Structure 1
Amino acid sequence: MQLNIQQIKEILPHRYPFLLVDKVLEVDCDEGRITAQKNVTANEEFFNGHFPKQPIMPGVLIVEAMAQATGILGVKMMHSVNEQLDEKKLFVLAGIDKVRIKKPVVPGDILIFEAKMNKIKRGMCKSSVETFVDGEVVASAEFLAAYREM
C-alpha cells in the first residue's frame, strides 16, 4: 500500500514546516514494515541557517523524519487489527537509542526510511529505522513510542 501527502496528513498531526515525510512507498502491516520518502530541497527553511554556505540537513530533523515514518506505521498497524484510534491520543516519542548519523544530507537528496516494528505491548511500540540516500545508509536509530492521551 502506498500513501500520498494528503493521506499522510490524515494520519500525522504535523504540518509544514514540520511534516517531514512526503510519501509512503510501502506499508506491510503483517510484517510490521514501512518504506517512506522525504525529498530534501534547497528551499527548506532550515538551510537558511544550517549552513548558508554549505547546507546540511540537521541530524535532529533526520531523526524526527524517521520517527514520523515510524508513527505512520504504528497507526496503520493499529488500523489493521481493527483498533480504533482515539482523537484525544497521539503516538508520542518516548525514547531514542543507538542514533547514528553517518553521512551529511544535502539539498537534492531523497531520503528513504525503512522502519520495522520490533515490539508492540500495552500502547508502547519499539522500532528500528535505517535511512538511505542512493542506497547508502546515512542514519539509523531505535525508537520507543507511546500511544498516550494529550
Structure 2
Amino acid sequence: MILNAVEIGRLTGRSEPLNLLDRVLEKDSNALVALTNVTINEEFFQGHFPGNPVMPGVLIIEALAQGCEILLADSQSTLKLSQIKKARFREMVKPGDQLTIKVKRKLEDEFVFKTEAYIQNKLACSAELAFS
C-alpha cells in the first residue's frame, strides 16, 4: 500500500508542518516502510544550528511515531505515544537527506514498536516506542 503525504496526514491527524512523512512505500498489519525528505526549507533549521543545520532528534522520533500511528490507524482505538525506550542517535540528519523510516510491531505486545530511521543504508536513529 502506497500513501502520499495528504493521505498520511488524514490517517495521523497531523497537518503541515508536523506531518513529517512524505510517502509510505510498504505497509502490512505488522510493518511499514516510509520516506521523509529533509529539505533546507524546514523552519527548524533556522535555529538548529546556525551554520551547521541538523534535524532535531525529537523530530526524528516524531517521524518514527507517525509511522507507528499509520499502522495503528487500522485498529479502532485512539492511542497516543506513551514511552520512548532505547533511543539511540547514530548519524546527524542534514538538509538533503532522505530518511527511510522502518517500523515493526513487536509480536509480544501489539502496541510496542521497534523503529529505525536510515540515511541511505546507514542507521541514523533507533528506538522502541510504546503507545497507550
Bucket of the pairwise TM-score, normalised by the shorter protein: over 0.9
Question: 1:17-61 CA distances to partner (integer Å, 9 max, x unpaired)?
Answer: 1111111011011xx000011000000000000012010000111
**Coordinate RMSD, CA, aligned:** 1.4
2 CA distance for matches of 1:9 and 1:120? 29
Of structures 1 and 2, the larger Rg is shown by: 1
TM-score by length of 1: 0.83
Question: Where does residue 113 of structure 1 map in the other structure?
Answer: 101
Q: Where does the alignment leave 5 or more consecutive residues of structure 1 unmatched?
A: 79-84
1 CA distance for matches of 2:115 and 2:22? 17
In the alignment, residue 92 of structure 2 is paired with which amino acid? P
Moved over 3 A (4+): none
Q: What's the offset of the Cα at 1:5?
A: 1.3
Aligned 1:2-17 pairs, distance under 5 A: 2-17=2-17
Bigger strand fraction: 1
Work out which of the residue numbers 56, 62, 66 in structure 2 matches 1:68. 66
SS in 1 for 2:7: helix
C-alpha contact (below 8 Å) 1:119/1:125 kept by paired residues: no
Work out which of the residue numbers 42, 45, 63 in structure 2 matches 1:44. 42
Question: Once the two structures are aligned, what percentage of the paired residues are identical?
Answer: 39
1:137 correspondence with 2:112? no
Aligned residues: 132
TM-score by length of 2: 0.94
In the alignment, residue 81 of structure 2 is paired with which amino acid? L
